Amino acid sequence: MYQKKVLTSLAVAATLGMLLTSCANQAGTTGSSETAASGSKVNIPALTKIDTPAAAVLPKGDGKATCAPTTTLAYAGAQTGPNAQLGVNIYNGIQLAINQHNEANPGCQVQFKMFDTEGDPNKATGPVTQVVSEDEIIGVVGLPFSGESKATGNIFEQKGLVHITPSATNPGLTENGWTTFFRGLGNDAVQGPAAAKFLTGKLEAKKVYLVQDDSDYGIGLGTATSAALGGALAGTEKVTTGQKDFSAVISKIMNAKADAVFYAGYYAEAAPFDQQLAGKGFEGTFVAPDGVKDDQFIKQAGDASNNAYFTCPCLPGELIPDFQSAYKALSKSEPGTYSIEGYDAATVLLAGIDAGKQTRPDLLSWVKSYDKDGLSKHYKWDAKGELQAPTVYGYKVENGKIVPIGAIGE
């Protein structure tokens, strides 16, 4: 099975250098790829190649699809707002998939609509209500964030509209009894323990201070990670969305003599937090999850990001040459966090359309029984909408860029 091949190659590469987590890799603020993060005293080399499945389903299909000219897929999620780049990455991946499909299938030109939620649970209900009211929309990729997914799940459910999130990871989302919600990655119950194992194992952290924001995402991931850290947990603290001054939290971290910090939240707060940590003389490792793993974190944190690693249940799309080159031609940028998951999620829906599943009930049934390889992983869901055998990967900052370092948590 493809997932096994990927896991094996990634695990071998990772073992050679010590494995992983988050969006940064070195010591202090030097930025040198030869210097390990001062808190971990290890150097983990970048991964340079991964295998992709020979039988991966691609958007173009066989080129023989036919469908009504009104057939429409939608993206619902952030295009603006403080963490918009994560949504932009996904949107670009979906657009690429639809472009490739339509170029190959003149008899089935799938329309694509975008609905901006700003990533805000309080604002997402309006755009999603509009999505479900447009009858020509038969499938949706989104929403990216856990809070907005929680706020809108019932709206999708009431209208029987299938939606695949490429990035929302709060475990509770699949405990709501929804039949239209599918998660295209591992949840925080998978990522949290993997992050803890990475921190205390490969990074050799003895005392980890965990800080979480007040989002559903941050709370879910923080809870899962702190439980898995056990005796290595030096302390916990909560911060709020939009917070910019972290001096009180940093004082507690320094007093605890922590050699690593795990931040459960998004890059808008993580960047100033890490910058202020470095400014106060923290010499340990900064580890953060997928919500922080973005070039915007590096831009906003500056040299302080040199102490950072990332965990993410997402495959490094930049290591898949055909995808990387096509994505770059479309967006004028490298694939970002969840770009390839957005691409794969759209491909699942496009494959259903090509198979004649062109109503909401039919496309929903298609996703429920789906069992095929994508570029990033094998897609098969259980009755709750969770993927089977999800994998968590590690990343680091090297020379001002986020680079993958392999699979973690095995």
Q: Is residue 210 assigned to a domain?
A: yes
Q: What is the pTM of this model?
A: 0.85
Tell me: do 202 and 249 sit in the same domain.
Answer: yes
Taking the C-alpha atoms of residue 250 and residue 358, their distance in angstroms, rounded to an integer, is 54
Q: What are phi and psi of 287, to 5 degrees?
A: -120, 135
pLDDT (tens digit per residue) in 197-243 = 999 998 999 999 999 999 999 999 999 999 999 999 999 999 999 99
Residue 13: per-residue pLDDT: 35
Tell me: do 266 and 197 sit in the same domain.
Answer: yes
Which portions of the chain are predicted below pLDDT 50?
Answer: 1-40
Q: Is residue 63 assigned to a domain?
A: no
Q: How far is CA 356 from CA 66, 113, 328, 353, in A?
A: 8, 21, 31, 5
Q: Please give the biggest Cα pair distance in the chain.
A: 66
Number of domains in the chain: 2
Tell me: do 325 and 284 sit in the same domain.
Answer: no
Alpha helices in 105-246 (DSSP H): 121-133, 146-159, 188-197, 216-229
Tell me: do 202 and 306 sit in the same domain.
Answer: yes
Tokens of 237: 């603290």
Tell me: do 204 and 153 sit in the same domain.
Answer: no
Taking the C-alpha atoms of residue 118 and residue 128, their distance in angstroms, rounded to an integer, is 12
DSSP letter (8 states) at residue 359? S
Q: Which class for 7: exposed (0-12), middle (13-18), buried (19 or more C-beta within 10 A)?
A: middle
Tokens of 236: 């916990």
Q: Is residue 330 assigned to a domain?
A: yes
Question: What is the 3-state composition of the chain as percent helix, strand, coil, each rounded to the nearest 5?
Answer: 45, 20, 40
202: left (phi over 0), alpha (psi -120 to 50) or beta: alpha
Q: Is residue 247 assigned to a domain?
A: yes
Tokens 């953060």 belong to 288
CB-CB contact of 140 with 165 (8 Å): no
Return all residues near 375 (Cβ < 8 A) that are at least 6 apart. Answer: 52, 53, 56, 58, 315, 317, 320, 323, 340, 343, 344
Tell me: do 159 and 282 sit in the same domain.
Answer: no
DSSP 288-301: E-TTT-SHHHHHHH
Rounding to the nearest 10 degrees, give the CA dihedral for residues 83, 84, 89, 90: 100
Taking the C-alpha atoms of residue 384 and residue 84, their distance in angstroms, rounded to an integer, is 28
Q: Is residue 61 assigned to a domain?
A: no
Structural domain including 333 reads 72-185+318-380
Tell me: do 102 and 170 sit in the same domain.
Answer: yes
Tell me: do 364 and 297 sit in the same domain.
Answer: no
Return all residues near 215 (Cβ < 8 A) that are at least 6 apart. Answer: 145, 146, 147, 241, 265, 266
Q: Is residue 56 assigned to a domain?
A: no
Residue (of 337, 344, 326, 356) closest to 298 by Cα position: 337
Residue 361: alpha-carbon gap to chain centroid:
28
Tell me: do 341 and 206 sit in the same domain.
Answer: no
Tokens of 19: 């494995």
CB-CB contact of 189 with 208 (8 Å): no
Q: Is residue 99 assigned to a domain?
A: yes
Return all residues near 386 (Cβ < 8 A) that are at least 6 apart. Answer: 174, 183, 187
- Helix, strand, or coil (residue 370): coil
Q: How far is CA 141 from CA 60, 181, 273, in A?
A: 18, 10, 31
Tell me: do 213 and 166 sit in the same domain.
Answer: no
Residue 33: per-residue pLDDT: 32
Tokens 């003149």 belong to 106
Taking the C-alpha atoms of residue 410 and residue 405, their distance in angstroms, rounded to an integer, is 14
Tell me: do 43 and 133 sit in the same domain.
Answer: no
Residue 304: per-residue pLDDT: 95
Q: Is residue 14 assigned to a domain?
A: yes
Q: What are phi and psi of 137, to 5 degrees?
A: -80, 115
Strand pairing class (208-212; 181-183): unpaired
Tokens of 117: 């939620």
Residue 410: per-residue pLDDT: 64
pLDDT (tens digit per residue) in 305-349 = 999 999 999 989 999 999 999 999 999 999 999 999 999 999 999
Residue 195: per-residue pLDDT: 97
Beta bridge partners of 236: 210
Residue 14: per-residue pLDDT: 36
Tell me: do 308 and 333 sit in the same domain.
Answer: no
Amino acid of residue 198: F
- Report the CATH number at residue 117: 3.40.50.2300
